[in-house]
Homo-oligomer: A and B are copies of this chain.
Amino acid sequence: MTNRITQLFNIRYPVIQAGMIWTAGWRLASAVSNAGGLGLIGSGSMYPDVLREHIRKCKQATDKPFGVNVPLIYPDIDKHIQIIIEERVKIVFSSAGNPNTWTPLLKQHGVTVVHVVPGSKYAIKAEAAGCDAVVAEGFEAGGHNGREETTTICLVPGVCQSVKIPVMAAGGIASGRAMMAAFALGAEGVQIGSRFAATEESSAHDHFKQAVIHSAEGDTMLTLKELIPVRMLKNKFYTQVKEAEERCAGKEELQLLLGRGRAKKGIFEGNLDEGELEIGMVSALIRDIRPAAQVLQDIWKEFCSLQKGIGEWKI
């Protein structure tokens, strides 16, 4: 398949592996890139020197294109950007912040820049800032999310109508069927998080991966809306947040309850009670831990078979 996304990144399949914190290190990113997708290193949980190490290891592990996801609210963002430029990373996916701040500098250094957006108005801003593409990320997605709660099926067509640059869809996509749904809505690529979190190469703790593949419909919720909305698996920590919210605890109390390092505790250290288990709604449809290359192949095979099937409908 050749489209604007495969051409933009010079990849075989228009499938991007999301740069998830504590999950997407060089092992996962290089596995996805080697398999023909686009792997992203998740820099949001990395100190600058750790990021540099992951970029270097990723270069050694693959000669295919890969990128780095950069949450723009990260405190050491200037150091991250500097390392990305020094290490000649060619692709950056930015999220959670203003695309105007760093896009021009990155573009000057020949970096392809994609911004992740939860709404059409942000897509328009990203296009104006010079981004090469956007990811339209729906309410379904794990981790930090938008306040308007626009879901993938409503967001993708809206974003596609709002910008001319190519659009990738994210949120709720873990299968060839969902990938086809995204393409029907106008996307030219998909960014997949949760399905790649439950792979052998994911650096998430095995307890976390097990919680993901054993989760059921309704087991994730978008919560902590008073601070920054985040989608996570329901667990003891989630229940504490919910109870605090139900008695109208203020921002300060919620911030204190959240504390520091909750996501690391849950995702990387596997503490299923006290950790913040960030994952997408689609985890309910994920049943096993597989090698990342197999995940990509299975999604692509289902997508191709569905394409053939739809073409043969008599209507």
Spell out A's residues near B (CB within 8 Å): 1-2, 119-121, 138-140, 147-155, 157-158, 161, 171-173, 175, 177-178, 180-186, 217-218, 221-222, 246-248, 281-282, 284-285, 303-304, 306-307, 310-315
For A313, give the chain B residue with the smallest CB separation: B307
Which of the listed residues A151, A182, A186 has the most CB atoms from chain B within 10 Å of its own CB?
A151
Q: A247-B248, A248-B246 are in contact. Are A154 and B282 (CB under 8 A)?
A: yes
Which of A139, A180, A184, A221 is most buried by chain B, counting CB atoms within 10 A of its CB? Answer: A184
Q: How long is the Cα–Cα vector from A153 to B153 in the complex, in angstroms?
A: 7
Within the complex, the shortest CB–CB distance from A124 to chain B, in Å, comes to 11
| Cα-based distance from A304 to B148 in the complex (angstroms) | 32
In the complex, what's the smallest C-beta–C-beta distance from A173 to chain B, in angstroms?
A: 7
* A301 CB to nearest chain B CB (Å): 11
Min CB gap A122→B, angstroms? 10
Chain B nearest CB, measured from A245 CB (Å): 9
Q: Which residues of B contact A171 (CB under 8 A)?
A: 153
With A148-B218, A184-B306 already in contact, the answer to whether A154 and B172 are too (CB < 8 A) is yes
Known: A149-B221, A153-B173, A180-B184. 16 other contacts (CB 8 A): A119-B217, A121-B217, A139-B139, A140-B153, A140-B154, A149-B222, A151-B152, A154-B217, A154-B282, A177-B184, A177-B186, A181-B181, A248-B248, A307-B310, A307-B311, A311-B312
By the criterion CB–CB under 8 Å, are B153 and A172 in contact?
Answer: yes
What separation, in Å, do the CA atoms of A311 and B310 have in the docked complex? Answer: 6
Q: What are 27 A-B interface contacts by the 8 Å CB criterion?
A: A2-B314, A119-B217, A138-B151, A138-B153, A139-B139, A147-B218, A148-B217, A148-B218, A149-B281, A151-B172, A151-B281, A153-B153, A153-B171, A153-B178, A154-B284, A161-B285, A177-B184, A177-B186, A178-B185, A180-B310, A184-B184, A246-B248, A247-B248, A303-B315, A307-B313, A307-B315, A311-B311
A38 to nearest B CB, angstroms? 17
